[in-house]
Amino acid sequence: MNYDVLIFLGAFLAVLFLFSFIRRKKGIKKCEYDERQAAIQGTAYKYAALTGIFGGIIAGLIVEADLLPITGGFALIMVSFLMIEVYVVCMILKGAYFGITGTWKRWTISITLLGVANLYFGIKNIATDGLEDGCFTICDINLPLGILFLVIAATVFFQKARERREQN
Amino acid sequence: MKNLKLKSARAAKDLSQQQLADLVGVSRQTINAIEKGDYNPTIRLCIAICKALDKTLDDLFWDNE
């Protein structure tokens, strides 16, 4: 029996429960979207699906032809993350991601911190352990994940600056 | 095509995009998109905007040309 997994799972569920308890206590409502934002969600889903289809084909070709030093698992995870990335970036650029209330600061800070942490640990792991057989595996996912998180954070800052320019 | 009638009606009421958005229950970006002509609102939202600005649908959304 692996107790580490149970402890991790227990801690994760406790944090989840704590967050939902605080939200209920503060009376924080579920994020609501207006009609334009709901329409944009549909378009973003479409782009994400297309990314999944074409990304999957391209990733398959890259792995099969050995064009890049990546394993199949790494490619699969990267395509999944890219799908999410396309969805989120598309929604942010159309001003639809944060719903009607538009509370974005805390979320963006969290994403930035996550990105920096992933980037740091990704670089550190590769620098200390190196790549397995010279290939990126699922164990090296922190590095690209950090980059993807930071791209999302940069997109938010870019969009907010653009909105501020439009308002002036 | 830009909706200048909406923009001027909003300005006449001395409302910002955010204030109008709060009145009709949408995001500021949605009001901005309508004014810029990037988004065609549903009739439900058009009516809500007209009520908030004390205008008729013809005043704000009828294209005379």
d(CA B45, CA B31): 10
Q: Are residues A128 and A54 in the same domain?
A: yes
Q: Are residues A6 and A69 in the same domain?
A: no
**Separation in Å, CA of A101 to nearest CA in chain B:** 7
Of A110, A114, A105, A116, the closest CA to residue A157 belongs to A105
* Total tally of structural domains belonging to chain A: 2
Residues in chain A: 168
What ipTM was reported for this prediction?
A: 0.84
Q: Are residues A45 and A18 in the same domain?
A: no
CA distances (Å), A68 to each of A74, B34, B38, in order? 11, 46, 41
Q: Are residues A40 and A108 in the same domain?
A: yes
Judge whether A108 and A156 are in contact, CB under 8 Å: yes
Of A154, A86, A85, A164, the closest CA to residue A116 belongs to A154
pLDDT at A97: 86
Residues of A in contact with B44 (CB under 8 A): 35
**Cβ neighbours around A59 below 10 Å, total:** 20
Q: Are residues A125 and A90 in the same domain?
A: yes
Judge whether B9 and B59 are in contact, CB under 8 Å: yes
Q: Are residues A93 and A138 in the same domain?
A: yes
Q: Are residues A81 and A132 in the same domain?
A: yes
Q: Indicate the residue type of A60.
A: G
**Which structural domains are found in chain B, ordered by start?**
4-61 (1.10.260.40)
Residues of A in contact with B33 (CB under 8 A): 36, 95
Secondary structure of A60-95 as H, E, C letters: HHHHHHCCCCECHHHHHHHHHHHHHHHHHHHHHHCC
Structural domain for A71, as ranges: 31-167
Of A115, A114, A126, A119, the closest CA to residue A143 belongs to A119
Name which residue leads in pLDDT, B54 or A100.
B54
Q: Are residues A63 and A21 in the same domain?
A: no
User: Could you report the per-residue pLDDT of B5-35, keeping only the tens digit for each?
Assistant: 999 999 999 999 989 999 999 998 899 999 9
Q: Read off the pLDDT of each residue in A116-141 and give the average, rounded to a whole number.
A: 89
Judged against a pLDDT cut of 80, whether residue A25 lies above it is answered with: no
CA distances (Å), A30 to each of A6, A15, A24, A99, A100, in order? 30, 18, 10, 10, 11
Confidence label for B65 from pLDDT (cuts 50, 70 and 90): low
Q: What is the pTM of this model?
A: 0.80
Q: Are residues A63 and A121 in the same domain?
A: yes
Supply the Cα-derived Rg of chain B in whole angstroms.
10
Residues of A in contact with B41 (CB under 8 A): 35-36
Q: Are residues A103 and A135 in the same domain?
A: yes
Percent of all residues in chain A with a pLDDT value above 70, rounded to a whole number = 94
d(CA A20, CA A14): 10
Percent of all residues in chain B with a pLDDT value above 70, rounded to a whole number = 97
Q: Are residues A66 and A134 in the same domain?
A: yes
Q: Indicate the residue type of A85.
A: E
Selected residue of A36, A156, A164 to mutate for chain B interface (largest B Cβ count, 10 A): A36
Q: Are residues A93 and A48 in the same domain?
A: yes
